[in-house]
Structure 1
Amino acid sequence: MTTFVDRVELHVAAGNGGHGCASVHREKFKPLGGPDGGNGGRGGDVILVVDQSVTTLLDYHHSPHRKAGNGAPGAGDNRSGKDGQDLILPVPDGTVVLDKQGNVLADLVGQGTTFIAGQGGRGGLGNAALASARRKAPGFALLGEPGEFRDIVMELKTVADVALVGYPSAGKSSLISVLSAAKPKIADYPFTTLVPNLGVVTAGSTVYTIADVPGLIPGASQGKGLGLEFLRHVERCSVLVHVLDTATLESDRDPVSDLDVIEAELKQYGGLDDRPRIVVLNKIDIPDGQDLADMIRPDLEACGYQVFEVSAVARTGLKELSFALAGIIGAARAAKPKEEATRIVIRPKAVDDAGFTVTLGDDGLYRVRGEKPERWVKQTDFNNDEAVGYLADRLNRLGVEDALLKAGARSGDGVAIGSEENAVVFDWEPSMAAGAEMLGRRGEDHRLDAPRPAAVRRRDRDAERDEADTEFEKFKPF
Structure 2
Amino acid sequence: MTTFVDRVVLHMQAGDGGHGCVSIHREKFKPFGGPDGGNGGHGGSVSLVVDPQVTTLLDFHFRPHLKAENGKGGAGSNRDGGNGRDLVIKVPNGTVVQSLDGEVLADLVGVGTTFEAARGGRGGRGNASLANARRKAPGFAELGEPGDKLDVVLELKSVADVGLVGFPSAGKSSLISVISAAKPKIADYPFTTLVPNLGVVRVDNHTFTVADVPGLIPGAATGKGLGLEFLRHVERCAVLVHVVDTATLEPGRDPLADIDAIESELTQYGGLADRPRLVALNKVDVPDGKDLADIVRPDLEARGFRVFDVSSATREGLRELTFAMAQLVDESRRATPPAEPTRIVIRPKAVDDAGFTIEAEADGSYTVRGSRPERWVKQTNFDNDEAVGYLADRLARLGVEEKLAKAGAEAGDLVRIGEREFDWQPTLYAGVDFVPGNRGTDLRLEDKSTRPRAADRLEARKARRRRPEDEIEGAPEAPADDLDDPDDD
- TM over 0.5, yes or no? yes
- 2:107 pairs with 1:111: no
Q: Which residue of 1 aligns with 2:165?
A: 165
Cα pair distance change 1:450/1:182, threshold 3 Å: same
Tell me if structure 2 keeps the 8 A contact 1:24–1:37: yes
* Secondary structure, aligned partner of 1:215: coil
Q: What amino acid is aligned across from residue 190 of structure 1 in structure 2?
A: P
TM superposition shift of 1:22:
1.4
Q: Which residue of 2 aligns with 1:451?
A: 445
**Cα distance in 2 for residues equivalent to 1:152 and 1:291:** 52
* Secondary structure, aligned partner of 1:311: coil
Q: Which residue of 2 aligns with 1:291?
A: 291
TM superposition shift of 1:5:
0.2
**Cα distance in 2 for residues equivalent to 1:108 and 1:8:** 15
Deviations along 1:61-86, one digit per CA (max 9) or x if unpaired, are: 00000000000011111111100000
Tell me if structure 2 keeps the 8 A contact 1:358–1:368: yes
**Cα distance in 2 for residues equivalent to 1:446 and 1:362:** 32
Q: Which residue of 1 aligns with 2:209?
A: 209
**Cα distance in 2 for residues equivalent to 1:473 and 1:129:** 43
Deviations along 1:392-427, one digit per CA (max 9) or x if unpaired, are: 011001111011111111111111111xxxx21121
- 2:381 pairs with 1:390: no
Q: What amino acid is aligned across from residue 137 of structure 1 in structure 2?
A: A
Q: Which residue of 2 aligns with 1:380?
A: 380
**Cα distance in 2 for residues equivalent to 1:433 and 1:242:** 74
TM superposition shift of 1:215:
2.8
Q: Which residue of 1 aligns with 2:12?
A: 12
- 2:424 pairs with 1:428: yes
Q: Percent identity?
A: 67
Larger mean CA deviation between 387-396 and 296-305 belongs to 296-305
Tell me if structure 2 keeps the 8 A contact 1:13–1:147: yes
Q: Which residue of 2 aligns with 1:410?
A: 410
Q: What amino acid is aligned across from residue 228 of structure 1 in structure 2?
A: L
- 2:113 pairs with 1:85: no
Q: Which residue of 2 aligns with 1:226?
A: 226
**Cα distance in 2 for residues equivalent to 1:411 and 1:215:** 66
Tell me if structure 2 keeps the 8 A contact 1:438–1:445: no
* Secondary structure, aligned partner of 2:142: coil
TM superposition shift of 1:267:
1.2
Deviations along 1:234-276, one digit per CA (max 9) or x if unpaired, are: 1111100000111111221110111111111111111111111
Q: What amino acid is aligned across from residue 283 of structure 1 in structure 2?
A: K
Q: What amino acid is aligned across from residue 208 of structure 1 in structure 2?
A: F
Tell me if structure 1 keeps the 8 A contact 2:43–2:68: yes
Q: TM-score, normalised by structure 2?
A: 0.89
Tell me if structure 1 keeps the 8 A contact 2:215–2:230: no
* Secondary structure, aligned partner of 1:404: helix
TM superposition shift of 1:474:
6.8
Tell me if structure 2 keeps the 8 A contact 1:21–1:39: yes
Q: Which residue of 2 aligns with 1:68?
A: 68
Cα pair distance change 1:138/1:30, threshold 3 Å: same
Larger mean CA deviation between 146-155 and 127-136 belongs to 127-136
TM superposition shift of 1:367:
1.2
Tell me if structure 1 keeps the 8 A contact 2:401–2:429: no
Tell me if structure 2 keeps the 8 A contact 1:169–1:215: no
TM superposition shift of 1:132:
1.5
Alignment of 1:210-359 (within 5 A): 210-359=210-359
**Cα distance in 2 for residues equivalent to 1:266 and 1:176:** 21
* Secondary structure, aligned partner of 2:349: coil
Q: CA RMSD in A?
A: 2.1
TM superposition shift of 1:49:
0.5
TM superposition shift of 1:303:
1.2
Unpaired stretches in structure 1, ≥5 consecutive residues: none
Q: Which residue of 1 aligns with 2:52?
A: 52
TM superposition shift of 1:372:
0.8
Deviations along 1:338-358, one digit per CA (max 9) or x if unpaired, are: 233221123333333221111
* Secondary structure, aligned partner of 1:446: coil
TM superposition shift of 1:233:
0.2
Q: What amino acid is aligned across from residue 61 of structure 1 in structure 2?
A: H
**Cα distance in 1 for residues equivalent to 2:189 and 2:301:** 30
TM superposition shift of 1:368:
1.1
Q: Which residue of 2 aligns with 1:368?
A: 368
Deviations along 1:352-400, one digit per CA (max 9) or x if unpaired, are: 3221111222333211111111100000011111111110011001111
Cα pair distance change 1:30/1:433, threshold 3 Å: farther
Q: TM-score, normalised by structure 1?
A: 0.91
**Cα distance in 2 for residues equivalent to 1:374 and 1:474:** 54
